[in-house]
Amino acid sequence: MRAVLLRFAGAIPTLFGVVLVTFLLTRVLPGDTATYFAGPTASAESIAQIRTSLGLDRPLPEQFWRYLKDLSHGDLGMSLTTGQPVKTELINRLPASAELTLSGLLLAIGIAVPLGVLAAVRQGSLIDHACRVVTTAGVSLPVFFTGLVLVYVFYFLLGWMPAPLGRLDAFASPPPQRSGFYLLDTLLAGDIETFRAAAAQIVLPAATLALFALAPIARITRASMLAVLGSEFIRTARASGLSGPTVVITYALRNALLPVVTVLGMVFSFLLGANVLVEKVFAWPGIGSYAVEALIASDYAPVQGFVLTMAILYVLLNLAIDLVNRAIDPRARRGA
Amino acid sequence: MKRRTLIKATAGAAALGLPAIRKAGAQTAPTRNETLILVQEYGPNSMDMQGIGAAQPVNGVSLNCYDTLVRFKRKPAGDGVTVFDLENLEPGLATSWQIASDGMSCTFKLRENARFHSKRPVTARDVKWSLDRAVKIGGFATTQMAAGSLEKPEQFVAVDDSTFRIDFARRDKMTMPDLAVTIPFVIDSELAMANAAGDPLAKEYLKNNVAGSGAFKVESWKPGTETIYVRNDDWACGELPKLRRIIARDIPSPSTRRALIERGDADISYGLPPKDFKDLADAGKVRVAAVPVPNAIWYVAMNAANSPFNDVRLRQAVAWAVPYEKIMSAALFGRGVPMYGGPDRVGKIGWPIASHYKTDMEKAKALVAAATGGAGLSTSLVFDAGSATIAEPMAILVQESLAQIGIKVELNKVPGANFRGELNKKTAPMVINRFGGWLDFPDYFFFWNYHGNNSIFNVASYQNKAMDKLIDAARFATDPAAYERDVRAFLQMGMDDVPMVPVCQPFHDVAMQKYIGGYHYAPSREPDFRYLTKGA
């Protein structure tokens, strides 16, 4: 417990640094918010009016102080592109991104871990080569491209998948909000029809993400398994006459999981931020596309809010990974 | 006070009586044929078009959910499409209007049975509050009002509950049309003020809520995701729309929007690249309604205030060197009206008109040689990354062509937020951009783009006293003959001095299924749901 609190305390300077750097970065970037939002036929006066109303005419330290003061009240400011408070937007959009990322990640784990294990056990076999091909393809194909290809094939040509209209098709209404995860909320509400609709919508974007996440997970599983399989305790286990599956799954895999979990954490946080393009292709109302739209418009508040949220998520995620590692491996408990 | 209580009481009674009426009128849920699915790149960022920072799609909220005193009549433009008629107005909230004999004011009679969505009757006080707000709020709304000489709250007078008067600041032919655009819409002032929390303009409330009397209400609005409109069955200002529900989804990827319309999962798709519109129009599976955007052109502007393009010969050289045909086919894919190769002298007046320039490299070379003595020069060209689908190929073609006449051009693609800033600096030697005013008059375009008051859209920073005089005279001319003379003169001057080279008048393309009817093009370019029909 003490360790957990210590970790939190250690994160505070990091977060402050993030706040400061994003603030400065958004201000240093070229681009004039006031001119952009003054609209097509703006006069110099109307631009000045907007600049004053946004507080952009004040000196930087004062702007930063005001931003900090708002932050301490949990106020992340207003987005100019969507006209809504950043906090509500992030709260509304984070579940969408998280649901998509988690689905993609689970799908990737489901394929990548067995693939990696098999490739390690039968090194040099056909499955090992298949693993290599899949991981190379997964890394080298950009996500928006795989996304578009999947849409083209499975929606446009074959018509097997529903229209890429976001989380639900136009005629379905969202389930009552509990977790914000449609797949969970529909089940909790007992609404099987909407669950099917939501599940159908998530298949393609999740598959796109999974294809991308497959590579690091499969490769690290394979490498880690190879290292463990070559170690002495495995030789001992085999020599003691334990069955193949027992050796591979109970002894080797458990020991090989440590780096895999660490990589999973990284992949998850990476996907959460990097699924912007998938969100764009599938009109997924997540936080990635939100932040990018805001960045293009020089809309500071959402960008700052997004980076801060991501920083907090990273901190929490790293903590969670440490805790999981302790649970898996007794050695990690002593290490801390 | 008594009156108000009475209104409230009747409104309450009406509301109570409503369920019974609804049942009697066999009100069922809207069928799929009464529901329209529209996909667009991004939706509204506010419900208040007068508010500062309102984005382009907010015009659609104003158009469909609010009423104005008067509306533009629709005129057919072929292929079942109608466009607004700048010169003919029809009743909106006002059933009739009369311009005073001295031509300095206009008195409007308001519709008796018009009610806000809150069921409160629309009064002249609401009209005054709304128009006052538009001239006071600042930003785009105030600029647009001023374009029609609507400048001060004192100009707006609520004579009695159903009579409203506007006192003109000057005789301006744009005053009446300016009342029909998406800015001077009428707001339920009592509802707005009751929720304003002390703000005399109720900015925050109106940004998030519709308080209008228009043909549609906003049922749900999820910024960045979806806006759902439902029909206001009590709409008094026109024939009840056929559509009862509109689902407008924000789909950022143009490829996805195209796939949706081709597969038939969307009824209407807005904003595709010109190549997609060309493909769709050629394939013929869906209908592409193409309206040349009134008043608008794509142009190449040159900074006439600074070297090197303060030399008119160099500007003319560029005008002769622009590869017009290639731009039309490779950048615009034919989705526009060519604005080059016209007669030497300006014939019929209007805007845009074709210039007398066409691609003639010999002429261009001769002009460059005369101006630089054969030394050539290098310069740079700025364009907006937000419109790069068209501007980028256009810029590259211009770059290639100018290289042949000894002008070396460096391209500079600037992200949307910085582009306006770049224009405001007024230092870019060359700019590729597009502009069009809502009020389709040549003098309006020239006032923004060629006048010495140097607005942000005078991208060329063009200064010419003679030009200013002609524009100012034309703006407030009352004699048609004098107007025509001045317009012709400044059009000719614009072509000869050529601070901006007209290239093409773009189409406003919208792809829709063949069963969609009643498509109407309004000045704001946003879809007008009131006339749309969906037959299976």
State pLDDT tens for residues B388-436: 889 999 999 999 999 999 999 999 998 766 787 788 788 899 999 999 8
The most confident of the ranges A193-202, B32-41, B208-217, B346-355 is B208-217
The most confident of the ranges A137-141, B230-234, B382-386 is B230-234
Tell me which residue in A165, A285, A296 faces B417 most closely, judged by beta carbons: A296
B222·A92 Cβ contact <8 A: yes
| Percent share of chain B, pLDDT over 90 | 71
In chain A, where are the structural domains located?
86-335
Tell me which residue in A46, A92, A281 faces B143 most closely, judged by beta carbons: A46
Higher pLDDT, B488 or B252: B488
With cut-offs at 50, 70 and 90, classify the pLDDT of residue B340: very high
Tell me which residue in B255, B262, B417 faces A36 most closely, judged by beta carbons: B417
pLDDT per residue as tens digits for the range B70-108: 999 999 988 889 999 998 999 999 999 999 999 999 999
Pair B232, B68: CB distance under 8 Å: no
**CATH architecture under which domain B30-252+513-534 falls:** 3-Layer(aba) Sandwich (3.40)
Position A83 scores a pLDDT of 74
Alpha helix segments (H runs only) across B251-303: 254-263, 274-283
Instruction: Dig out the tokens for A207 from the structure.
Output: 């598959």
CA distance A148 to chain B (A): 8
Residue for token pair 């063009």: B462
Interface test with A, best of B140, B279, B445 (most A CBs within 10 A): B140
Q: What angle (nearest 5°) sits at the alpha carbon of residue B202, between those of residues B199 and B205?
A: 125
Residue of B249, B301, B375, B45 lying closest to A89 (CA atoms): B45
pLDDT exceeds 60 at position B183:
yes
Give CATH superfamily name and number for B297-507.
Dipeptide-binding Protein; Domain 3 (3.10.105.10)
Residue of A30, A256, A147 lying closest to B255 (CA atoms): A147
Tell me which residue in A40, A45, A297 faces B416 most closely, judged by beta carbons: A297
pLDDT per residue as tens digits for the range A43-62: 677 777 777 877 777 888 88
- The SS3 assignment for B94 reads strand
Position A42 scores a pLDDT of 62
Residue of B26, B93, B64 lying closest to B182 (CA atoms): B64
Nearest CA in chain B to A291: B224
Alpha helix segments (H runs only) across B54-202: 58-65, 124-136, 139-147, 175-178, 189-194
Position A179 scores a pLDDT of 80
Judged by average pLDDT, the poorest of A228-242, B348-362, B385-399 is A228-242
Residue for token pair 């604005």: B339
In chain B, where are the structural domains located?
30-252+513-534, 297-507
| Percent share of chain A, pLDDT over 70 | 93
**Whole-number average pLDDT of chain B:** 89
Residue of B154, B186, B185 lying closest to B169 (CA atoms): B154
In Å, how far are A63, A128, B521 from B83, measured between CA atoms? 47, 64, 5
Q: Which long-range contacts (CB under 8 A, 24 or more apart) does A172-177 make?
A: A172/A197, A172/A198
Number of Cβ atoms within 10 Å of the Cβ of B165:
18
B222·A285 Cβ contact <8 A: yes
Position B7 scores a pLDDT of 42
Name chain A contacts of B386, Cβ cutoff 8 Å. Answer: 296
Residue for token pair 């209404």: A173
Residue of B495, B485, B437 lying closest to B462 (CA atoms): B495
B45·A83 Cβ contact <8 A: yes
A170·B247 Cβ contact <8 A: yes
ipTM for the assembly: 0.75
Contacting residues for B75 by C-beta, under 8 A, at least 6 apart: B82, B83, B84, B85, B88
- Alpha-carbon distance B422 to B428, whole Å? 7
Say which CATH topology domain A86-335 has. MetI-like fold (1.10.3720)
pLDDT exceeds 60 at position A253:
yes
Question: How much is the average pLDDT of A9-38?
Answer: 78
Name chain A contacts of B226, Cβ cutoff 8 Å. Answer: 166
With cut-offs at 50, 70 and 90, classify the pLDDT of residue B149: very high
A164·B37 Cβ contact <8 A: no
DSSP track, A311-331? HHHHHHHHHHHHHHHHHH-HH
Position B50 scores a pLDDT of 93
**Whole-number average pLDDT of chain A:** 82
pLDDT per residue as tens digits for the range B429-488: 999 999 988 888 999 999 989 998 887 789 999 999 999 999 999 988 888 999 999 999
Interface test with A, best of B260, B262, B263, B457 (most A CBs within 10 A): B260
Judged by average pLDDT, the poorest of A247-256, A268-277, B288-297, B307-316 is A268-277
Higher pLDDT, B97 or A30: B97
Expressed in percent and rounded to 5, the helix, strand and coil fractions of chain A are: 75, 0, 25
Residue of B337, B333, B222, B227 lying closest to B272 (CA atoms): B333
Sheet-wide strand order for B70-76: B70-76, B82-91, B520-521
B53·A83 Cβ contact <8 A: yes
pLDDT per residue as tens digits for the range A107-154: 999 998 888 888 888 888 888 888 888 888 887 888 888 888 888 898
CA distance A281 to chain B (A): 5
Buried b or exposed e, range B410-439, using 16+ CB within 10 angstroms: ebeebbbbbbbbbbbebebbbbbbbbbbbb
- Alpha-carbon distance B501 to B318, whole Å? 8
Name chain B contacts of A82, Cβ cutoff 8 Å. Answer: 45, 223-224
